[in-house]
Structure 1
Amino acid sequence: MYSIRGSVLRAGCLTKSPFRIVICLAISLLLASCAGSNATYSGSVYTVKRGDTLYRISRLTGTSVKDLASMNGISPPYTIEVGQRLKVNGASKTASSSTKSGTKTAKVVPSSQVPLSSWPPVGQRCWRWPTTGKVIMTYSTSDGGNKGIDIAGTRGQPVYASGAGKVVYVGNQLRGYGNLIMIKHSEEYITAYAHNDTLLVNNGQSVKAGQKIATMGSSDADSVRLHFQLRYKATAIDPLRYLPPQGSPPKC
């Protein structure tokens, strides 16, 4: 699905130019949404599996939630049923990576295979909540699981930088993430903020911890939310393990 050398996604890519960082993290985010998943679809039809939502199917197939709803006549609250066949964009695809003769595919180790012992210790860095609200999707190590947390809120609600750093991506080219911002905090850490409404920062801009960088929205999502990822050496780790209790300042 992605023909690119596996070494591109190694942690070392974070030390390269901003352009290389964007390429590395963009591919990593795209693969994270389907890495380890055995879900497949043929041609332009996807069969709903147990646990699927339009939001998840959007990430697996590269079809926006808005297009999925429109193409299949689905209205809010976007209820779907197991076995239901949905029209999607694109040709025959497989959500899991495959290797063709003479082609090297990007190799990414799913977070479920990275032992907790290799994660950074809690308190090594101070992280702030990027927004306030109920966590409606938690981090998961299961196949095709959520590699961040989703926080519900209201349209226009402020989204803040979880830490000081430099903006390395602002855009909506990654299908399934809507209006997305990525911030590099060091040679090892990057945070990602997806589904925003308004983007308030630019590529290359330095930001402070707690600085307002966007407003919450529902771009490429089936409800207003913020999808937040914390990545350590390009590996998605559980943000709830490192964030303080909501409403509390960082303890480090």
Structure 2
Amino acid sequence: MVVLEDDRAGVAMLPEGTIPEVAGESARAVAKRGIESTDPRERALGVAALNALDAPADVRPGLDPFRSLDPATERVAMVGLFAPVLYHLDAGHVDVFERDPDAMDLPEDLPADIEVAMHAPESASEIVPESQVLFVTGSTLVYGGLENYLDAARPDQTVVIVGASASFTPAPLFEAGVDLVGGASVADIDRLHTEIEAGRSEAQLHDVGLHKWAVLDPQATDLPGLQLE
């Protein structure tokens, strides 16, 4: 978590390893250096700083992209394993892209009518276009690879980025082909810091200092596979 002098704050997925010390530095400098870096730890700090500096003004609080998924959707692609999607579908096929697909374990209580296939990122160009909806984890902003998935998506395909790492004003993402961004705002810095220090996952941080929201591309007129209220 990056906290500014005026108590604005932003978070991002934290890679393993020692995080560079940036206390006292300009948040804009941290953001710029992180965005230009290939080191995931510097990128994480840069993304968190950007989220603190450039939070979107027009958000839809509580809108959950996963719950907005039409249960009748037949094929979904996910960059990162989002378990809620597996339980929200009535039936269908889900393609999951992971940096190390062999290391991922699927839930034991996976619904019988859901078929899941694990893939390496290199398969994206072939497999992503076959789905109706593409969910991408915001951590791709830290680890890289987002451009490859966006390039693989069809122009008429619904693309959703989800995660607290993607909590800056989303105009650049919309210009790149994203339709919906699900991010989060830091509502309680002290409590969130305590929970992060305790090793809580991002999913566990919601409602304990991190509040979810979503932003829809104002140019999006049709989102196949989603049902927005």
* TM-score, normalization by structure 2: 0.29
Which has the larger strand fraction?
Answer: 1
